[in-house]
Structure 1
Amino acid sequence: MKWDFNSLIDRIMVSAEIGNISAALRRFAADCGFDHFAYLSIKPGGAYAISDYPQEWQRRYLREGYERLDPVVWRAQHTALPFQWSMGKDRKSLPREKRAFVDQAAEHGIRSGLSIPLPDGFGRRAILSFASARQPDGKYETPDANEAFVAASLIHAFITVHDSRGEPARSPCLTPQEKLCLRWKAEGKKNHEIAQILQVKASTVRWSLDAAREKLNAVTLPQATAIATALRLI
């Protein structure tokens, strides 16, 4: 197996659309002996992915929030280096819910692979993975960490700019009033000023902001406005 990240970078550099990036990753995965690729970004409202995993598995993964069970996601949160993984490894020692996840992944042809963690801002990680339907006979040839990180970072930047699929698959559902209050808060308005603008009570503004903050899984209102802005909710 030869990790030719230079050729992958060449293909990405001439990619004008997400479809072209996907095609480049699909070809790279095949050239390296893998069956699938997956780019996964974990956001406060959930996760979104660009992948050639089976569509049924992608829909189930995003709908059920399987990133909370995925051992690959867990490991990516705890290392900055590319790592190999096998879904069947230590299966018996896993809790029942995680064993079920591993079994479902295997049923969809995802048994082993190699992943590259990427910083995604605010302590979050994105992950670029190459997966195989087979359990490895031995270890994969580990790519040069610097070359892998450069190529994966470029892919991450292109996907972020292209804003894959518009929004994360499970964006928080804010009410129109919560969005308005959060938008005015982002503009620097105080609660009583927002109340005057919207012609509502100050307590209504406070409740709306608190509700939006909780939905966005934010600790503070400035963090909530930053998340909502990044998700294009306001």
Structure 2
Amino acid sequence: MIDSDVFDFVERCRKHTATGPLLSDLLETVRNLGFEHLILSGVPLGGQKLAPMVELNGWPAGWFERYVEAEHAAVDGVCLYSAKTLSPFLWADVPAKWSDTEGSRRVAGEATEFGIRSGFAVPMLSVHHWQSVLSFASSAKSCGPSPREQVQLITMAVYAGMSIQALSNVDEEVDGVLTDREKEVLLWAAAGKTSSETSQILGVAERTVKWHSTRAREAFGVGTTTQAVVEAVRRRLIHP
């Protein structure tokens, strides 16, 4: 990749008005550096759930759901180390204190089932979270971006993060997008509660909870409740 490709991406960042096109653009650009997947999210701390903190989800189908359901963020060495440093790093360079544990090795092993074997992470300061990280993933057993390519990745990560911030600051017409009950259902989903648990908390039938979840998904045009939670947080309709 040449530097002008990076500058072209930076220029396009200013024109994106939604997260979907921004994600597609970034994925297409970094593919030239050998990275097929990526995720941008806040770094969970103190038992926080990952799903509501995700701002760009370019992980393989199925892997995000497994990662969230298994609460891998609590043991994943890459995720844990992202909370300890602001220096970009190769996944392979995560210190053994975080990477050489049973839980972290399990996460790495499961990731290979989805074509993820190596990566490069760019931690960043965030106005929404304690810290954020944009993690680029590769199917190669050992990705090896050169020092110049690492600078290119860092530049694109920073501008993608800035674009997300700009989009979140755009005045949106949010009143009426969700009902109060739909917000409650998504809030409890963000806390990791099942439909059954949420029904007991709210004192309604489980089918009612599922109906509100469906309405919330339809309101945002997404396929899963997790995605609806992410969008509701991004629009600041709920605050987990």
Instruction: Answer whether TM exceeds 0.5 for this pair.
Output: yes
- 1:37 matched residue in structure 2: 38
Please point out which of 160, 163, 169 is paired with 1:155: 163
Deviates more, 1:2-11 or 1:76-85: 2-11
Deviates more, 1:41-50 or 1:166-175: 166-175
- Does the C-alpha gap of structure 1 residues 136 and 67 become closer, same or farther in structure 2, counting only changes over 3 Å? same
Please point out which of 125, 130, 151 is paired with 2:131: 125
CA distance in 1, matches of 2:125, 2:83: 9
- Does the C-alpha gap of structure 1 residues 168 and 75 become closer, same or farther in structure 2, counting only changes over 3 Å? farther
> What SS class does the counterpart of residue 55 from structure 1 fall into?
coil
Measure how far apart 1:62 and its partner are.
1.5
- 2:19 matched residue in structure 1: 18
1:143 aligns with 2:151: yes
1:53 aligns with 2:56: no
CA contact (8 A) 1:15 1:21 kept: yes
CA contact (8 A) 2:43 2:130 kept: yes
> What SS class does the counterpart of residue 81 from structure 1 fall into?
coil
Measure how far apart 1:45 and its partner are.
4.3
- 1:171 matched residue in structure 2: 190
State percent identity of aligned pairs.
21
- Does the C-alpha gap of structure 1 residues 86 and 156 become closer, same or farther in structure 2, counting only changes over 3 Å? farther
Output aligned runs, 1:25-104, within 5 Å.
Answer: 25-42=26-43, 45-48=48-51, 49=54, 50-86=56-92, 94-104=100-110
Measure how far apart 1:150 and its partner are.
3.8
CA distance in 2, matches of 1:54, 1:67: 16
> What SS class does the counterpart of residue 130 from structure 1 fall into?
strand
Deviates more, 1:57-66 or 1:42-51: 42-51
Tell me, which stretches of 5 or more residues in structure 2 are unaligned?
Answer: 173-182, 204-232
CA contact (8 A) 1:37 1:130 kept: yes
Which protein is bigger by CA-based radius of gyration?
1
- TM-score norm. by structure 1 comes to 0.61
> What SS class does the counterpart of residue 40 from structure 2 fall into?
strand
- Does the C-alpha gap of structure 1 residues 65 and 156 become closer, same or farther in structure 2, counting only changes over 3 Å? farther
Write the deviation string for residues 41-65 of structure 1: whole angstroms up to 9, x where unpaired: 2456411332222221011112222
